[in-house]
Amino acid sequence: MTTFELADAVQDVLAIDPDAFRRAAEADGDTVIEELRDGTFDNHQSIIGLEYEFYAVSEGRWRNGGGDEAYSLCRVPRRLLELIGFEKELGLHNAEMTISPQPFNEHGLRAQESEVRGRLQAALECTAPEGMRLVSDGLWTIPPAGETARGYLTDSVEHSGVRIATNMTDAVRYHAMANSEAATELFRIDAPHVSIEADTVMPESLITSIQPHYQVQQAEDLPRCFNYAVRIAGPLLALGVNSPFFPADLYDDVPPKEILSMGHHENRINIFESVLNSATDSDKVRFPRDLDSIEDAVHRVVDDETMVPMPVDRGERFDDSFATLRHKHGTYWRWVRPVFDGATRSSANARIEFRPLAAQPTVRDSIALQAAYAGLMEGLTRHDHPLINLPWEVARENFRAAAEDGFDSGQRIITADGTETNDPEVVFSELLDYAEAGLTAVGLSESEAGRYLKPLRWRVENRVTPASWKRSIVAAELDKGRSLAEGIETMQRRYVNEQQATLLDGSFADWVQR
């Protein structure tokens, strides 16, 4: 799509009547609630799914054997994205893999792990001849060769009064966000000692994530599972933190060690929140409140502030009967969110998308977090674990603390015997034990369940996360008298080097144990 065509498409979207869109969403909500009461969204088993985001870097083979270009961010040609079967995301450097939903049992989990490895290996074989590779990480830090991160994120053009981000994919809704009536202010990032403002949402393309899904068997159980998911968001985030640094040119001119001491372990959280909340009256990106009922879940999506009303097609699919509500799911930006979906009546499902987690150093580590999430959904609910009684305010504090301080954030839970604790060994052992119990309950052997969770148990035993690993490298470089930019680049190139040898078949533990 050319810039002119994209600008015209954005103008068409902006002409949609928001009141009519809202009324259509309300009617769709009534449709979904009626189908929920009829049992349409009930299933005979739990289902798991996964969305996995990557960014592309140059391997630097075309200029003087690499040098400064090695592992710098690069744009993925659209033809290549189609060839490898990945989907476009916000930035031209992004690629997303959506994994086929599978029954939550030993075969389904194994099938998803194999699909990730198989498709990723094929993708790497396709991108290598192009001089690029896909990276599994939480936040890129080395901008394209010859460019600054600030320039890459803020570059835009205007056509017929429509602002178009130069390095953003041609998805109309992303560009429409910057041109809506709500977008009266610049989009900015709120993080310690970081300053960047843009006239589009492009700064959000700094981050990449994994998003595991858990589809409940009985839709009426979704609120209870959802409320458990809210309470494990902090602890799982604390184990998975992987975005402690920004590109160096986005930092203010302050002493590097001050930046290191004040920096968060998971900057994905404040990036997503601050950028997208810049253009909304309410804070659309936020930690969600508990659900009281399945109807409550539907009403929250219906009543959520509409950022960009998009045209929807009413075709013959089952979920076309609530197509406007389905569109609103896409901008219902909560860190844990309910989704109602299904192309056919028989495939209709109610699921919980778990969104706090950064993409991890290896496939095995990413799958470990998926297994822990799904296992906890089964293990906690089957045993009626008292964690559900943890006050919501504490769960939110856990989440904020995890984003700031990672493993050492003082996570608080209620254990099986009703005791409240913030002892990290007790907290994480308790949760991983119940995740393992959930995995064995759906048919995995104890040894196989243990294998899936082993990368996370290793992190607990060694008190090391990807973020703390990155921070230690940058700290060591600063102690050698290197600049912050040199420290971040050294860390990032080592990250990609380590990942080259371990992405498909190793684990993050291999990086530390070498």
C-alpha distances out from residue 8 to 158, 176, 177, Å: 12, 11, 14
C-alpha distances out from residue 244 to 32, 312, 367, 475, Å: 40, 39, 21, 12
**Residue type, position 10, single letter:** V
- From the list 443, 307, 455, the residue with the least C-alpha distance to 372 is 455
pLDDT at residue 115, as a whole number: 98
Is 80 exceeded by the pLDDT of residue 68?
A: no
Structure tokens at 18: 């928001």
- CATH class held by domain 3-513: alpha beta
Average pLDDT over residues 323-349: 94
pLDDT band at residue 355, thresholds of 50, 70 and 90?
A: very high
pLDDT at residue 132, as a whole number: 95
With a pLDDT cut of 70, the percent of the chain lying above it is 97
Q: Output helix, strand, coil percentages for the chain, rounded to the nearest 5.
A: 50, 15, 35
pLDDT at residue 271, as a whole number: 97
**Residue type, position 13, single letter:** V
Query: 79-130, pLDDT tens digit by residue?
Result: 999 999 999 999 999 999 999 999 999 999 999 999 999 999 999 999 999 9
pLDDT band at residue 264, thresholds of 50, 70 and 90?
A: very high
C-alpha distances out from residue 246 to 87, 113, 191, 334, Å: 25, 30, 10, 23
pLDDT at residue 433, as a whole number: 98
Say what angle helices 484-502 and 466-479 make with each other, to 10 degrees: 140
Structure tokens at 494: 């080592």
Is 70 exceeded by the pLDDT of residue 65?
A: no
**Residue type, position 271, single letter:** I
Q: Which residue has the higher pLDDT, 450 or 283?
A: 450
Structure tokens at 370: 């998926």
Average pLDDT over residues 471-480: 98
Q: Where are the domains of the chain?
A: 3-513
Query: 493-505, pLDDT tens digit by residue?
Result: 999 999 999 999 9
Cβ atoms of 138 and 208 closer than 8 Å: yes
Query: 157-214, pLDDT tens digit by residue?
Result: 998 889 999 999 998 988 988 888 766 678 999 999 999 999 999 999 999 999 999 9
Cβ atoms of 132 and 59 closer than 8 Å: yes
Is 60 exceeded by the pLDDT of residue 63?
A: no
Is 80 exceeded by the pLDDT of residue 22?
A: yes
Characterize the bridge pairing of strands 349-354 and 210-215: antiparallel
pLDDT at residue 66, as a whole number: 47
pLDDT band at residue 513, thresholds of 50, 70 and 90?
A: confident
Q: How many C-beta neighbours within 10 Å does residue 214 have?
A: 24
Q: How many C-beta neighbours within 10 Å does residue 279 have?
A: 21
**Torsional class of 116: left (φ above 0), alpha (ψ -120 to 50), beta (otherwise):** alpha
pLDDT band at residue 255, thresholds of 50, 70 and 90?
A: very high
Average pLDDT over residues 242-246: 98
Q: Which residue has the higher pLDDT, 468 or 311?
A: 468
Q: What average pLDDT does the structure give for the chain?
A: 94
Average pLDDT over residues 70-75: 94
Cβ atoms of 236 and 373 closer than 8 Å: yes
Query: 379-414, pLDDT tens digit by residue?
Result: 999 999 999 999 999 999 999 999 999 999 999 999
Average pLDDT over residues 472-490: 98
Task: Tell me how far the alpha carbon of residue 277 is from its chain's centroid.
Answer: 17
User: What is the 3-class SS of 278-304, one letter each residue?
Assistant: CCCCCCCCECCCCCCCHHHHHHHHHHC
Range scoring the smallest mean pLDDT among 2-16, 149-163, 445-459: 2-16
pTM over 0.85: yes
pLDDT at residue 281, as a whole number: 79
Cβ atoms of 218 and 37 closer than 8 Å: no
Structure tokens at 511: 């990086």
